Amino acid sequence: MTRIYFDNAATTPLDPQVLQAMMPYFTEHFGNASSIYSYGRENRMAIESARKLVASSLNIKPGELFFTSGGTESSNMAITCSVRDLGCKHIITSPIEHHATLHTVEFLKSLGLVDVSYVKLTQDGHVDLIDLQQLLERKNAKTLVTLMHANNELGNITDIAYVGELCERFGAIFHTDTVQTLAHYHLDLQKVKVHFISGSAHKFHGPKGTGILYTNHMVQIKPFIHGGGQERAMRAGTENVAGIVGFAKAFELSMLHHDEDMVFIRSLKQYMKEKLSSAFEDIIFHGDTGEKSLYTVLNAGFPMNERTEMLSINLDVAGICVSGGSACSSGAQGGSHVIKGAYPHSHRVPIRFSFSKHNTFEEIDTAILKISEFL
Ligand code: PLP
Which DSSP letter does residue 7 get? B
Q: Assess whether pLDDT exceeds 90 at residue 277.
A: yes
Instruction: Report CA(72)–ligand 1 centroid distance (Å).
Output: 6
Q: What is the mean pLDDT of residues 23-43?
A: 96
Start-to-end Cα distance in the chain: 22
Q: pLDDT tens digits, residue range 232-276?
A: 999 999 999 999 999 999 999 999 999 999 999 999 999 999 999
Report the C-alpha gap between 75 and 348 in whole angstroms. 31
Q: pLDDT value at position 333?
A: 46
Ligand 1 atom having least distance to the Cα of 202: 15
Q: pLDDT value at position 227?
A: 95
Q: Assess whether pLDDT exceeds 60 at residue 32.
A: yes
Report the C-alpha gap between 157 and 80 in whole angstroms. 24
Helix axes 71-86, 99-110, angle to 10 degrees: 30
Task: Give phi and psi for 140, each to the nearest 5.
Answer: -90, -25
Contacts of 344 (CB under 8 A, 6+ apart): none
Instruction: Report CA(259)–ligand 1 centroid distance (Å).
Output: 24
Ligand 1 atom having least distance to the Cα of 10: 8
Residue nearest to atom 10 of ligand 1 (CA): 71
Comparison of pLDDT for 22 and 325, the residue scoring more: 22
Ligand 1 site, residue 180, Cβ cutoff 6 A? yes
Q: What angle do CA 124, 126, 129 make, to 5 degrees?
A: 130
Beta strand 4-5 with 320-321 is parallel
Instruction: Report CA(39)–ligand 1 centroid distance (Å).
Output: 33
Q: pLDDT value at position 335?
A: 85
Q: pLDDT tens digits, residue range 160-205?
A: 999 999 999 999 999 999 999 999 999 999 999 999 999 999 999 9
Q: pLDDT value at position 375?
A: 93
Q: pLDDT tens digits, residue range 287-333?
A: 999 999 999 999 999 999 999 999 999 999 999 999 985 444 444 44
Q: pLDDT value at position 332?
A: 42
Q: pLDDT tens digits, residue range 35-83?
A: 999 999 999 999 999 999 999 999 999 999 999 999 999 999 999 999 9
Ligand 1 atom having least distance to the Cα of 73: 16
Strands of the sheet with 90-93, listed across from one edge: 65-68, 211-215, 196-200, 173-177, 143-146, 90-93, 115-118
Report the C-alpha gap between 272 and 368 in whole angstroms. 8
Instruction: Place 15 in a pLDDT band, splitting at 50, 70 and 90.
Output: very high
178 and 187 in contact (C-beta within 8 Å)?
Answer: yes
Report the C-alpha gap between 75 and 73 in whole angstroms. 6
Q: What is the mean pLDDT of residues 204-219?
A: 98
Q: pLDDT value at position 334?
A: 61
Q: pLDDT value at position 114?
A: 98
Q: pLDDT value at position 14?
A: 98
Ligand 1 site, residue 323, Cβ cutoff 6 A? no
324 and 152 in contact (C-beta within 8 Å)?
Answer: no
Q: pLDDT value at position 330?
A: 43
Ligand 1 site, residue 315, Cβ cutoff 6 A? no
User: Which residue numbers are catalytic?
Assistant: 328
Q: pLDDT value at position 1?
A: 83
For the chain, give the mean pLDDT.
96
Ligand 1 site, residue 179, Cβ cutoff 6 A? yes
Residue type at 346 in one-letter notation: S
